[in-house]
Amino acid sequence: MPGDFDTVKERIDIVALIGERVPLKKAGRVYKGLCPFHVEKTPSFQVDPERRNFHCFSCDEKGDVFTWLEKWENLTPAEALRTLADRAGIELTSSRRTPEDKEREDRLRKLMDTALFYFTQGLRHPQHGKAASEYLAGRGITAATIEKFALGYAPDLWDGLLSYLKKKGFTEEEGITAGVLRAGERGAYDWFRGRLIVPIRDSRGRVIAFGGRAMQPDQPGKYVNSPNTPLFNKSATLYGLDLAKAAIRRDDVAVIVEGYFDTIASHQAGITNVVASMGTALTQEQYVVLQDMKLERIVVAFDGDAAGQRSAERRGRDLLPLLQRHSGRAGAGQVGTRGYGTLYVTVLPEAMDPDDLARREPAKLKALIADASSLLDFLIGKIRERSRLDQSEGRLRYLDEVAALLAAEPDPVRREVYLSNVASDTGVDPALVRKRVEAALLAPPRQAPAGRPAFGTDQETYDEPAAVEMKQTPLSERYVMALLTRFPEEIARVDLVPDDLETPELRDLLNHLRSGKRPFSDLPAHLAATAAALGAFAPELGDETDPGQAIEIAAQRLREQRLRDRLGEARAKLARTKDGDVDALGQEVARLANDLAAVMARVERRTVLQGESDRREAE
C-alpha cells in the first residue's frame, strides 16, 4: 500500500490547514496571504492546492503539510504525521520510510514508467498493436485521447515485458511486486499479455497500476487489473482523478462512473470532471478523497442496462453508510445530504452507459448530470414508485421505509422538509410521521467498514453478524421472509405456521407480522437486526410481478418442502417402532400425507393459473 506519509498528504486539504492560521484569498489556481514567517505588507505567501505545497517568494519558506506543522507548531516529523493522521481519520501502519524503503519505492515507480513505455510502444507497433488500434478506432477513441490517457497494448508474448524489464535492470521479483508479472511453475510471465492497456495513475499523475482489456473472445476475464501493491490501493484510487481534478474544482462537481472507458469517452466529449471507481463499488476511501475536496456535489451515475435499472434503488441505499460514517462537517459526528460531499444520483436511459451516451449524445449526459437527484430524493422517489399509495397498507409500508431513510439524515431542518412531503404523500398527520422517524432514529445505523464498497455490481459483501446468520438460513425461508418484510400487507396470503421455519428469529418475525405489526415498528433488538439483514437479501421484483402472488407461491412451496421432510421423518420413525405407539404414528403419517396432498394441489392449481395468465398476456 502507499506509505503513511503519502496517504496522509493526499487526504489533508493544505488550503484548509494553513487557512486556519493565515487568511488566504484565491488568486487563480493558488491562494495568497501575508507570510506568517516574516513581517510584510504585500502578500508574497502562496498555497498551491494542486501541488499540495506552500511557498513564500520573499523569505523562501516552503514545504508541505508536514513541514507546515513542524515549523508552525514546533513538532517533530513523527509528531506532525500523527497529528495529521488523526485529523484525516487514518490509522497509521508505519513510521517515516527508511532510506531502503524509499529506494525500493523509487525503483518500483521507475519500473512502472518502464512498463508504460513498453505498452505504449506495443500499441504503436504495426503488427502487435494493429487489433487494439482498430478496436479503439471502432469505439471512436481519437489519437489525442489515446495520448492523453497513455493507452497501450501488451503484445501477446509470454515474456515480452519480462525480457524488457530485465534488459532495463529490473528483477523478476520487482516485476511481480509491482503487479505487472505473475509467478508460474515455469517462472515469471507477463500478466497483461494480449490485452489493451489502461494505465492507472494517482492524483499526482504517477503510474501506480494497469488495467487490461481482453482482445480475444477466449481470454479469461474481460478485464484484469493489477493487484494491490506497495504503490496501488484499489479501494482508495479513483481512475482519471489526475486529469479530472482541475475540472472538478472548477465546477465544484465530481461525477463517478464505473468503467475506464466511461471516463475516457466522457473526457473526450468535453465532460472532464468524470472519474471511475474501476468497475467495483464506490468505497468509503474513494468517497473521502472527493469529500476532502469540499465539493458542492458528488454525482453517482448508474448504468442504464437492465441490471442497473433493476438494482438502482438497492445501489442507492448502499450509499447511505457513506453519509453516516464520514461526518466531520455537520457536527456531532454526522454529515447529511448537504454540505461537503453531498451525494446525488442519476440513472442513465435504458440500455445506455456513460460511454454510449458520451459518444452519441454528450449534451444529454450533461443534462442528466445537472438534473441528478439528491440521494434522499432519489430513494424516496423509488419507494414511492413501487408503493401502492392508494391503499392503506401501501401507505403504511411507504411510511415505514421512508422513516428509516430519514433517520439517516442528521440535519433536522432537511429532515422536517422531507417529513412534510411524506405526510403530504400519505395524508397522515406530520406529527405521526415524526414519531415514526423518531422511532427509526433509535435503531443503530448499518455501517460498512472503510474500504468496503457502497455501490456497484461487483461489490464485496459486508457481513454484519445478523447477515452472516442469515446466509446460513435456508434460501427458501430467507426468500419468503424477505418478501414479507418488504410487503407485510400480504401476510394474509401466506399459508405458513411458525414450525415451517427452521430459524427461531424468523419464526418470531412471522408471529410479529401475523399480529398486524409493521416489520420496523416496536421490534426487539435481535428481530430488528434480523429484519435489517433480510432487507439486504430482498429480491427485486419486476414491475409486472404481483408481490402477493409471488409470496403466496413461494410460501406454498416452502410448506410443501417442510411437509415432505416431516412425512419422511414420520415414516422412518414408524418403520423403526415396534411398541404401542404404532397407531399414533400411523395417524401422524396419514395426516401429514393428506396435508402434503392438499398443498401440492394448491401449488399445481396456482402454477396452472399462472401459466394461463401468462399465455393470455402473451396473446
**DSSP code per residue over 446-514:** P-PPTTSBSS-SS------HHHHHHHTS-HHHHHHHHHHHH-GGGGGG----GGG-S-HHHHHHHHHHH
352 — pLDDT class (breaks 50, 70, 90): confident
The more confidently predicted of residues 546 and 301 is 301
* pLDDT value of position 441: 65
Burial 172-185 (b: 16+ CB within 10 A, else e): bebbbbbbbbeeee
CA-derived radius of gyration, the chain: 30
Q: Does domain 234-459 have CATH number 3.40.1360.10?
A: yes
Asked whether the predicted pLDDT for residue 36 surpasses 70, the reply is yes
Task: State how far the Cα of 203 lies from the Cα of 189, in Å rounded to an integer.
Answer: 29
Asked whether the predicted pLDDT for residue 146 surpasses 60, the reply is yes
Q: What SS3 class is residue 151?
A: coil
Q: What SS3 class is residue 71?
A: helix
Q: What SS3 class is residue 87?
A: helix
* pLDDT value of position 279: 67
- pLDDT tens per residue across span 445-486: 444 434 444 444 333 333 333 443 444 456 777 788 888 877
- Grid cell 417442510 is found at 562
* pLDDT value of position 14: 93
Residues in contact with 294: Cβ distance below 8 Å, sequence separation at least 6, in sequence order: 13, 16, 340
Residue 392 sits at φ, ψ, to 5 deg, of -60, -50
Evaluate whether 371 touches 407 at the Cβ level (below 8 Å): no
Closest CA to 133 of 51, 76, 78, 215: 215
Asked whether the predicted pLDDT for residue 619 surpasses 60, the reply is no
Rank 299-303, 393-397, 553-557 by mean pLDDT and report only the highest: 299-303
Asked whether the predicted pLDDT for residue 497 surpasses 50, the reply is yes
Asked whether the predicted pLDDT for residue 56 surpasses 80, the reply is yes
* pLDDT value of position 332: 29
587 — pLDDT class (breaks 50, 70, 90): confident
Asked whether the predicted pLDDT for residue 535 surpasses 90, the reply is no
Share of the chain above pLDDT 70, in %: 78
* pLDDT value of position 310: 60
- Grid cell 509470454 is found at 158
365-394 mean pLDDT? 88
Asked whether the predicted pLDDT for residue 313 surpasses 80, the reply is no
* pLDDT value of position 195: 95
Task: Report residue 11 as a C-alpha cell.
Answer: 487526504
* pLDDT value of position 456: 43
Phi/psi class of residue 86: alpha, beta or left (left: φ > 0; alpha: ψ in -120 to 50)? alpha
The more confidently predicted of residues 579 and 547 is 547
Q: Does domain 99-232 have CATH number 3.30.365.10?
A: no
Asked whether the predicted pLDDT for residue 532 surpasses 70, the reply is no
* pLDDT value of position 612: 45
Fold (topology level) of 473-619: DNAb Helicase; Chain A (1.10.860)
Q: Which amino acid is present at 601?
A: A
User: In this structure, is the dihedral angle defined by the CA atoms of residues 229, 233, 239 and 243, taken in order, positive or negative?
Assistant: negative
Asked whether the predicted pLDDT for residue 569 surpasses 60, the reply is yes
Q: Which helix (H) or strand (E) holds 588?
A: helix 582-618
Task: State how far the Cα of 273 lies from the Cα of 280, in Å rounded to an integer.
Answer: 19
* pLDDT value of position 493: 75
What count of other Cβ atoms lies within 10 Å of the Cβ of residue 370?
12
Residue 213 sits at φ, ψ, to 5 deg, of -100, 135
* pLDDT value of position 196: 97
* pLDDT value of position 193: 93
Closest CA to 405 of 371, 389, 381: 381
Where along the chain do its domains lie?
4-88, 99-232, 234-459, 473-619
- pLDDT tens per residue across span 64-84: 999 998 887 756 787 788 888
Asked whether the predicted pLDDT for residue 549 surpasses 90, the reply is no
Closest CA to 18 of 81, 84, 78: 84
509 — pLDDT class (breaks 50, 70, 90): confident
The CATH number of 4-88 is 3.90.580.10
* pLDDT value of position 445: 45
* pLDDT value of position 491: 80
Give the torsion through C-alpha atoms of 595, 597, 601, 603, to 10 deg: 70
Q: What SS3 class is residue 442?
A: coil
593-609 mean pLDDT? 65
Fold match between 4-88 and 234-459?
Answer: no
Q: Which of 23-32, 175-184, 396-405 has the lowest mean pLDDT?
A: 396-405
For 350-387, the three-class secondary structure string (H helix, E strand, C coil) is CCCCHHHHHHHCHHHHHHHHHCCEEHHHHHHHHHHHHC
439 class by beta-carbon count within 10 Å (0-12 exposed, 13-18 middle, 19+ buried)? middle
Q: What is the overall mean pLDDT for the chain? A: 79
Q: Which of 291-305, 481-495, 499-513, 538-552 has the lowest mean pLDDT?
A: 538-552
Evaluate whether 48 touches 55 at the Cβ level (below 8 Å): yes
* pLDDT value of position 454: 44
* pLDDT value of position 137: 95
DSSP assignments along 4-68, one per residue = HHHHHHHHS-HHHHHHTTS--EEETTEEEE--TTS--SS--EEEETTTTEEEETTT--EE-HHHH
Residues in contact with 557: Cβ distance below 8 Å, sequence separation at least 6, in sequence order: 476, 603
DSSP state for residue 407 in the 8-state scheme: T
229-241 mean pLDDT? 91
